[in-house]
Amino acid sequence: MRVRRKGAAEIRQAAEAAAIAALKVAAQEVPRPPFDESTAAFFDVDNTVMAGASIFYFARGLAARDFFDSRDLLRFGLAHLTYRLRGQENSDGIQDARETALAFVAGRSVAEIVRYGEEIYDERMAEQIYSGTHALAQQHLDAGQRVWLVTATPVELASVIARRLSLTGALGTVSEVRDGSYTGRLVGGLLHGQAKAEAVAALAEREGLDLSRCWAYSDSINDLPLLSLVGHPVAINPDPDLKAIARERDWPVKDFRTARKAVRIGIPAAAGAGALAGGVAAGMALRRRVVSA
C-alpha cells in the first residue's frame, strides 16, 4: 500500500511542530556563545551527515537486542543496501517504513527509545559520520552561525545526534507523546520534502533568520524545496537527480563518499554513551514481539 500524500494543512502542522520542538529542546542545552542572529546552516542527516540511513543502523542494533527476528533484519538490510548502492532514497519507501513503524510504538517510553538510540549510535553509527560534512558544520559554528539538523527522524532522537556532534539542535518528525510514552501518532506528518522547507521557514520566522544568508546541505532531490529556500544551497553526496539540478543551477557539489574513512565522531573520550538512532524502527520491533507472543 502506498503512503497517502500529505495535504498542505498536514505539512504546515508538521513544520510548525518541528520548529517548536526544536527550539524547546535547544533551549534546554548548555548555553552557547553568542551567534550571528540572522544566519544558520541546515543539514540533512541520511547520506549527508552519515553514510546510509540511520533507521537501518538502528534496526540492526535492535535486532542484536532480540527486538525482532532475522527475517525483518534481512528486509531492512536489503533496503539499506539498495539505498547505499543507488545513493538515492525512495521517498515512498522511507515514508512507509517510518510512518508504518509509528503505529507500533504506542506505549513505549521516549526515554527507552532514546537510551537504545544512544547505545546504537556508539555501536553502529558514529563510524558512519562523514568527517567532511562534520567539518563543514564545524566551520559554520566557528563562524558564529547556528547549525541545525533537518530530518524525518523523530526529533527526540535527532536532537541527541545534534548534541553529540556539538550542533545547535535538530528539526525532526514530531510524534505525539503522552505521559512520557509514544501514542503511535504523528503531530502533522513526517518531516520530509516540502515539510522540511516549511519547518525551516517557521524556525527562521521565530528566530529572525535571513534565509537569503543561510545554507542548506542535502544529498536528495526530495530536499529540493529546502535547498531552494536558502541563499546558499549545497549538494552533498548527491543522488543523480540532485546532481543534475545542482549543475544546472551552479550550486556547489561536494562528495565525501569515496574518500570517507571510518572515523568515530561525537563520542566522549572517556565513555561510550552515544547519540541518535534512526527512530521509530523500534515500533516495528514492538509489533514483532507482540505478534510472536
For the ranges 24-38, 97-111, 124-138, 258-272, the lowest mean pLDDT is seen at 258-272
Residue 29's domain comprises 8-292
Assigned domain for 2 exists? no
> What percent of the chain clears pLDDT 70, i.e. is strictly above it?
68
Assigned domain for 198 exists? yes
pLDDT score at 27: 59
For the ranges 95-99, 106-110, 146-150, 204-208, the lowest mean pLDDT is seen at 95-99
pLDDT, mean of residues 198-216: 96
Question: Does 14 or 221 have the greater pLDDT score?
Answer: 221
Q: What confidence tier does 94 reach under pLDDT thresholds 50, 70, 90?
A: low
Which residue matches cell numbers 532480540?
66
110 pLDDT more than 50: yes
Sign of the C-alpha dihedral, residues 188, 191, 194, 197? positive
Assigned domain for 27 exists? yes
pLDDT tens digits along 10-44: 888 888 877 887 777 775 564 555 667 899 999 99
Give the catalytic positions in this structure.
44, 46
Assigned domain for 263 exists? yes
Assigned domain for 3 exists? no
pLDDT score at 269: 34
Q: Average pLDDT of the chain?
A: 76
Total of domains in the chain: 1
Q: What confidence tier does 1 reach under pLDDT thresholds 50, 70, 90?
A: very low
pLDDT, mean of residues 258-272: 46
pLDDT, mean of residues 156-165: 83
**Comparing C-alpha atoms, which of 154, 155, 159, 151 is closest to residue 222?**
151
**Number of Cβ within a 10 Å radius of residue 107:** 11
**Number of Cβ within a 10 Å radius of residue 7:** 10
Assigned domain for 265 exists? yes
For the ranges 38-47, 61-70, 98-107, the lowest mean pLDDT is seen at 98-107
Q: Which amino acid is at 219?
A: D
Question: Does 125 or 56 have the greater pLDDT score?
Answer: 125
State the CATH number of the domain containing residue 14. Answer: 3.40.50.1000
Antiparallel, parallel or unpaired: β 40-43 and 146-154 = parallel
At 235, give phi and psi (nearest 5°). -90, 125
Q: What confidence tier does 251 reach under pLDDT thresholds 50, 70, 90?
A: very high
Assigned domain for 182 exists? yes
pLDDT score at 81: 52
Assigned domain for 184 exists? yes
